[in-house]
């Protein structure tokens, strides 16, 4: 069915009504006659244009639907792994931005894996280095499509998801926080030149080189400079407000941010697109067409959700930012325990990255970057140095090291945020400040992140089931250990009881034998 929307008082609907009132059916001949009626000329043109547009839209939707369905079908047809909870040779941490993945990298993975086993990368585009064939752990913001460049059958994937509304807030806040650090410079031109020189002199990876911040931070940086220049040109006192998310004199208001095309392309439903491999940073060419089709026709999002849910099903571990303690404990028991076990085993190299034809990406370059903890803007450099897994490390030791590490990391991050936001005071992002945001803005965020909301609920179910499974396994193992210990403790008394019983029986038998017969 073709739908034609109302245009105005001389729109398509009014035009068609007038044509039929005159008793003339809509045909090419009658349209020619009606063309002479000046009052209908424009209406007929509107009708023809609207019908043509409707036909084009229908054909375009059909093309998009076929593209998305074919893409989804090719991925859903693949069988689910039987041993998905077994750690394979390569661990890929799919880091969805603003979910706490940096904490897991520094406080878990760098405690487990020595630097010699980290895959060379720039954190934005992976580059295999033939001189390091033994890479065993990869942590990046790349989407799932990067697995097309990895030894797929020897790769385990883990990720963390966050409540979509909180993730949008955090993305907005972090974009402004990082951009505000550049306000020490007099103007945007000076900032761009100095930032470029710093990146060329250091081996570290700047936040400005990492997806999605390489898009979001420059955009927000320019906006902050424009607003600062406007304030200075006016020379007027600033307006005071209790809503840090709507201080337009200092920073882009949240409601403006969420409705901007940049946020539409990168932020909204970002977790679903990343897990599905459909970001604008995707490695697979067809992914870009599929993403644009889904963004254009929201009804096609159901196919993307199917793929994203299946990929969560196949993952070794799926954590939740909101369930911090339980997620950390599960990661240590599911992933950490297996890494410790693997590294204790006889050393084996990851088979044939080169032999499998995955030694490089489409644009191979030497890896000129160090690990992401040297990022210029991430604050990761203040964390403790790399720690290799010791042969005697246990899951308990790992959790203890994690707690110490996360406390230090959070303190550093808080200090950096406070220092950055001072440059755009009175802006002050906090949990309390979020309560000032209107219900209308919150509802808009929900509508724009409908896929992420559904995927997050699905992840919560997976998390709950895996958490119960781990608790049950832990309880059974503990009961077996206690039973075993109890049996060993009771063994002397059992032996004594058996000995006394045998002795008693032997004495009774002897008495019966020696008893005189009457």
Query: Could you read off the pLDDT of 170-181 as tens digits, one per residue?
Result: 999 999 999 999
d(CA 258, CA 170): 12
Residue among 98, 102, 127, 173 flagged as catalytic: 173
On the question of pLDDT at 146 being above 70, the answer is yes
pLDDT for position 457: 98
d(CA 354, CA 364): 13
Active site residue 289: no
Tell me phi and psi for residue 392, to 5 degrees.
Answer: -100, 5
User: What is the pLDDT confidence band of residue 32, given thresholds at 50, 70 and 90?
Assistant: low
Residues in the chain: 518
Ordered strands of the 137-140 beta sheet: 137-140, 90-94, 155-161, 317-320
Q: How many CA atoms lie within 13 A of 511 on its CB side?
A: 6
d(CA 174, CA 429): 10
pLDDT for position 362: 33
- Per the prediction, the chain carries an average pLDDT of 78
| Rounded average pLDDT over 134-156 | 89
Supply 168's token pair.
């949008």
pLDDT for position 359: 35
Query: Of 89-103, 180-194, 425-439, 483-497, which gets the smallest average pLDDT?
Result: 483-497
Query: Of 85-99, 244-258, 343-357, 477-491, which gets the smallest average pLDDT?
Result: 343-357
Active site residue 173: yes
Residue among 152, 154, 416, 423 flagged as catalytic: 152
Beta carbons within 10 angstroms of residue 444's beta carbon: 15
Beta carbons within 10 angstroms of residue 301's beta carbon: 21
pTM assigned to the model? 0.76
H or E element in which residue 94 lies: strand 90-94
User: What is the pLDDT confidence band of residue 194, given thresholds at 50, 70 and 90?
Assistant: confident
pLDDT for position 485: 54
Mind listing the pLDDT tens digit for each residue in 50-80?
655 655 566 899 999 999 999 999 998 776 6
pLDDT for position 468: 84
Mind listing the pLDDT tens digit for each residue in 263-316?
999 999 999 999 999 999 998 889 999 999 999 999 999 999 999 999 999 999
pLDDT for position 391: 57
On the question of pLDDT at 261 being above 90, the answer is yes
pLDDT for position 493: 62
Chain-centroid distance of CA 154 in Å reads: 22
CA angle 251, 253, 256 (to 5 degrees): 125
Cβ–Cβ < 8 Å for 430, 170: no
d(CA 56, CA 45): 16
Mind listing the pLDDT tens digit for each residue in 328-362?
999 999 999 999 998 887 655 444 443 333 333 33
């Amino acid at each position: 069915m073709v739908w034609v929307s109302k245009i105005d008082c001389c729109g398509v609907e009014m035009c068609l009504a007038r044509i039929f009132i005159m008793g003339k059916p809509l045909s090419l001949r009658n349209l020619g006659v009606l063309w002479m009626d000046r009052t209908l000329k424009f209406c007929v043109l509107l009708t023809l244009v609207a019908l043509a547009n409707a036909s084009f839209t229908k054909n375009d939707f059909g093309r998009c639907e076929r593209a998305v369905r074919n893409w989804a079908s090719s991925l859903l047809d693949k069988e689910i792994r039987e041993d998905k909870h077994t750690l394979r040779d390569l661990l890929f941490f799919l880091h969805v931005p603003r979910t706490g993945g940096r904490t897991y990298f520094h406080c878990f993975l760098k405690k487990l894996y020595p630097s010699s086993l980290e895959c060379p990368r720039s954190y934005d585009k992976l580059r295999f280095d033939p001189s390091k064939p033994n890479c065993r752990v990869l942590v990046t913001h790349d989407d799932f499509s990067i697995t097309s460049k990895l030894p797929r059958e020897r790769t385990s994937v883990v990720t963390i998801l966050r409540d979509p509304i909180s993730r949008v807030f955090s993305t907005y806040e972090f974009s402004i926080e990082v951009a505000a650090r550049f306000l020490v410079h007099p103007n945007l031109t000076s900032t761009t030149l100095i930032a470029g020189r710093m990146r060329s002199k250091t081996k570290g990876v700047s936040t400005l080189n990492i997806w999605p911040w390489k898009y979001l931070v420059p955009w927000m940086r320019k906006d902050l400079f424009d607003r600062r220049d406007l304030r200075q040109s006016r020379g007027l006192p600033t307006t005071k407000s209790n809503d840090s998310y709507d201080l337009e004199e200092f920073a882009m208001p949240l409601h403006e941010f969420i409705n901007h095309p940049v946020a539409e392309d990168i932020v909204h439903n970002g977790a679903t697109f990343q897990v599905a491999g459909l970001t604008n940073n995707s490695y697979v060419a067809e992914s870009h067409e599929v993403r644009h089709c889904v963004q254009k026709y929201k009804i096609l999002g159901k196919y993307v959700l199917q793929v994203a849910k299946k990929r969560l099903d196949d993952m070794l571990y799926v954590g939740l930012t909101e369930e911090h303690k339980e997620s950390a404990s599960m990661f240590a028991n599911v992933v950490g325990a297996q890494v410790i076990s693997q590294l204790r085993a006889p050393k084996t190299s990851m088979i044939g990255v080169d032999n499998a034809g995955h030694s490089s990406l489409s644009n191979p370059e030497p890896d000129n970057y160090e690990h992401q903890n040297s990022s210029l803007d991430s604050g990761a450099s203040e964390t403790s140095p790399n720690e290799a897994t010791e042969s005697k490390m246990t899951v308990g030791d790992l959790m203890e090291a994690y707690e110490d590490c996360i406390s230090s990391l959070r303190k550093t991050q808080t200090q950096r945020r406070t220092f950055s936001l001072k440059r755009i005071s009175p802006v002050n992002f906090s949990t309390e400040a979020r309560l000032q945001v209107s219900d209308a803005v919150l509802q808009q965020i929900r509508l724009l992140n409908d896929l992420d909301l559904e995927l997050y609920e699905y992840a919560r179910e997976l998390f709950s089931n895996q958490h119960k499974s781990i608790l049950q396994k832990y309880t059974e193992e503990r009961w077996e250990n206690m039973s075993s210990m109890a049996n060993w403790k009771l063994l002397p008394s059992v032996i004594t009881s058996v000995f006394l019983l045998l002795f008693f029986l032997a004495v009774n038998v002897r008495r019966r034998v020696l008893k005189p017969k009457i």
